[in-house]
Amino acid sequence: MEIGTIDLQFQGRPEAIAVFFIDLGERYVLFESGPFSTWETLEMGLAAQGYLPRDCAGLFLTHVHLDHAGAMGDFAMRGVQIFAHTKAIRHLADPSRLVDSARQVYGAEPFERLWGEMLGAPQKCLTALADGEAVELGPLLVEAMETFGHTYHHHAYWIGDTCFAGDALGARLPGSRWISVTSAPTQFDYAETLATIERIEQREPERLFLTHFGEVQDPAQHLLRYRAAVEVAWEWVCEQLAAGADEQEIAQHYREWSRARARQMDVSDSQWETMEAINGAEMCAFGMLQHAAKLL
């Protein structure tokens, strides 16, 4: 099975956000839509394969965050069927709360520049998938797997022993050993993240694809390294809390601590800036801090 990666060149940065393409002959299947701000790049990537957006036989979304699902409504307006977790469907039908929350975080002008418009999808174009449910599209059987930890509406998708993991297994730039923990607010859960890693490990994926970014060449090693990265980051944040540091101070220091660790793994300044654009360290620190507060 040939799987194509379309680099959306987010904010002009290569290898930041990917969508994954499988050619079915007259139609294709897509995993993730990316944000609407990269729509023209996505259209060009599809055109290079000889397709238009409307030719999509099925769009599978791992979760509703804007960098993964922001352009899904534009596919739906062309009659494309969209598949997502049962808890994600209402946000895809009406993304107004999601968009309003993001605008408050980023500000109106930066929001438009980063993400662009997100259209709601008609209900007839939305299919909710439960854990373990599968969809047959031509020769493909795509199975959904609940993979909580990053959000409570996250699916990874399997085709045989190939896994499309979304943000369930961190973010890693090609050629780098550094794995950034995807712990953004507001639904990060430490125990669920570790449970997700174990659940995917048990399936022993032969191929593994991350939205940030691309195919992982060593799935088993990646799973081991990501578990270690999550455990070390969580322990560091909890130690800072126990020492009495305030949240803003912890977030700033987490960024510095993360940059130092990434530098030890030969992450260049350009690579670090790309990672900050898609999975900012301070934002991820706040996700862990929010979860820690729930446990206290």
- pLDDT for 236-276, tens place per residue? 999 999 999 999 999 999 999 999 999 999 999 999 999 99
Instruction: Identify whether 279 is part of a domain.
Output: no
**Res. 296: pLDDT tops 80:** no
Instruction: Identify whether 76 is part of a domain.
Output: yes
**Residues 6+ away with beta carbon under 8 Å from 166:** 32, 62, 63, 68, 147, 150, 154, 155, 156, 210, 211
Instruction: Identify whether 240 is part of a domain.
Output: no
Query: What is the reported pLDDT for 12?
Result: 95
**Res. 149: pLDDT tops 80:** yes
Instruction: Identify whether 208 is part of a domain.
Output: yes
How do residues 196-209 score in pLDDT, each as one tens digit? 999 999 999 999 99
Instruction: Identify whether 253 is part of a domain.
Output: no
Q: Give the number of domains in the chain.
A: 1
Query: What is the reported pLDDT for 104?
Result: 80
In this prediction, what percent of the chain has a pLDDT beyond 90? 89
**Res. 174: pLDDT tops 80:** yes
Query: What is the reported pLDDT for 107?
Result: 78
Instruction: Identify whether 21 is part of a domain.
Output: yes
How do residues 75-101 score in pLDDT, each as one tens digit? 999 999 999 999 999 999 999 988 888
Query: What is the reported pLDDT for 237?
Result: 97
**Res. 109: pLDDT tops 80:** no
Distance CA 12, CA 76 (A): 26
DSSP letters spanning 18-84: EEEEEE-SSSEEEE----GGGHHHHHHHHHHTT--GGGEEEEE-S---HHHHTTHHHHHTTT--EEE
Instruction: Identify whether 192 is part of a domain.
Output: yes
Q: How confident is the prediction for the chain on average, in pLDDT?
A: 95
| Residue of higher predicted confidence among 61 and 98 | 61
Domain of 202? 4-228
Instruction: Identify whether 248 is part of a domain.
Output: no
Helix (H) or strand (E) holding 247: helix 247-264
Report the pLDDT averaged over residues 14-31.
97
Q: What is the CATH number of the domain that holds 86?
A: 3.60.15.10
Report the pLDDT averaged over residues 19-38.
97
